[in-house]
Amino acid sequence: MATLAYMEGCTKKKIAKELGLIVGISVVMSYVMGLSYPQNLQAYLFRFLVTFSIWLVMWYGNAYVSHLADKRISWLTDPGQRFIVGVIGAASYSVLALLALKWFYSRYFDIQIMGDSVVIWVYTAVFSVLVLIAMLFKEFLYAWRELALREEKMKNDVLTSNFESLKNQVNPHFMFNSLNTLTSLIYQNQDLAANYVGQLSNVYRSVLSAGKNELITLAEELHVLDSYLFLQNIRFEDRFHVQLDISEEAKQKYVPPMVLQMLIENSLKHNEITVENPLLIKVYQKENMLCIENSKAPKQVLPGDKSAIGLHNIKERYALLSDIPVVVKDEEKNFCVQIPLLTLT
């Protein structure tokens, strides 16, 4: 039953290709083995049937042994042990299968295959081991490819999930504050209110499209940030200042979408912003890192707001994109987050 279940798991196309390969090998080997003997069709057909039966038993028998080994030891988690078990299991099966075939042909057809020569058995054993190693190497490559595809899918799934979480965090707080500001502007300055709506739409257009790319250039991120800073400057007026000091070379590096907006939003969320304590944020380059530093004037926040979901999200996104970690420095007067500037390889 287990063998039938294994065969059912093989596609008809795969079985057809394997049988075609076995037939081809049998044809060639039957011809080569008969070069030192008188050639006739009957003898050739005999050699072909014997060779074909041996290859059929060896191929699918070893494949089933490998299938059983895969169910107990994975190439992905323990390739060394899987290789050793595969070689021992397949070699043991090959010896038993050859002995069984030798007995079968001798018992029912009175035909001696391979003879009793030690040399023939040694060559057969060496040939079998080489075939086994080739099959195991193929299985390892397939397993490695499967792992690479699985990791890539998991990476995309996590990035998509993190981005959706990011959007869910941005939308409620940012929209609520923006609409409050817009309501005041409509009565005070309609031209400025119209400009405000345009900048707000730019920000949300970027939020909705950011999930299409894992990375964007820092120049693109700064372009989006301009609209976001315009909205915040209207809201806080002279109580909020951002200083940018970034080289043109650094602007061609890459960052995850919305990362600067989220870090600045985090600073706004956790600090008092008053005339007496204006919030100053500096964005500057430090070698291959981009530093986002803000002055500290901590305010009381609700317990649920103190979890720094946005910062955690950014760390997770960078962990998937780079081996360089995000650095957080929480000092007495300043809070600084350093994010890697990435390059595409």
Mean pLDDT of the chain: 75
Q: Confirm whether 122 is domain-assigned.
A: no
pTM (2 decimals)? Answer: 0.52
Q: Confirm whether 297 is domain-assigned.
A: yes
Q: How far apart are CA 90 and CA 65, in angstroms?
A: 6
Question: Beta strand 240-245 with 279-286: parallel, antiparallel or unpaired?
Answer: parallel
Instruction: Select from 96, 116, 136 the last residue of a domain.
Output: 116
- Model confidence over 92-139: pLDDT tens digits? 887 788 788 888 877 777 777 665 555 555 655 665 666 666 666 766
Residue 60: how many CB atoms within 10 A of its CB? 18
Do residues 85 and 178 share a domain? no
Alpha carbon of 240 to those of 70, 246, 281: distances in Å? 61, 20, 8
Q: Confirm whether 137 is domain-assigned.
A: no
Do residues 180 and 33 share a domain? no
Q: How far apart are CA 109 and CA 343, in angstroms?
A: 70
Q: pLDDT at position 154, please? A: 58
The closest alpha carbon to 82, from 120, 28, 137, 12, belongs to: 137
Q: pLDDT at position 280, please? A: 92
Do residues 161 and 262 share a domain? yes
Alpha carbon of 143 to those of 10, 74, 138: distances in Å? 16, 9, 9
Do residues 179 and 320 share a domain? yes
The number of folded domains in the chain is 2
pLDDT exceeds cutoff 80 at 253: yes
Least confident of 15-29, 115-129, 270-284, 295-309: 115-129
Alpha carbon of 300 to those of 127, 270, 294, 335: distances in Å? 76, 8, 17, 16
Do residues 336 and 245 share a domain? yes
Q: Is 340 in a helix, a strand, or coil?
A: strand
- Model confidence over 288-345: pLDDT tens digits? 999 999 988 887 665 555 445 667 778 877 887 888 899 999 888 899 999 999 988 6
Q: Which domain holds residue 247?
A: 152-340
Instruction: Select from 116, 142, 164 the last residue of a domain.
Output: 116
Q: How far apart are CA 23 and CA 51, in angstroms?
A: 9
Do residues 239 and 334 share a domain? yes
- Model confidence over 294-306: pLDDT tens digits? 988 887 665 555 4
Do residues 296 and 164 share a domain? yes
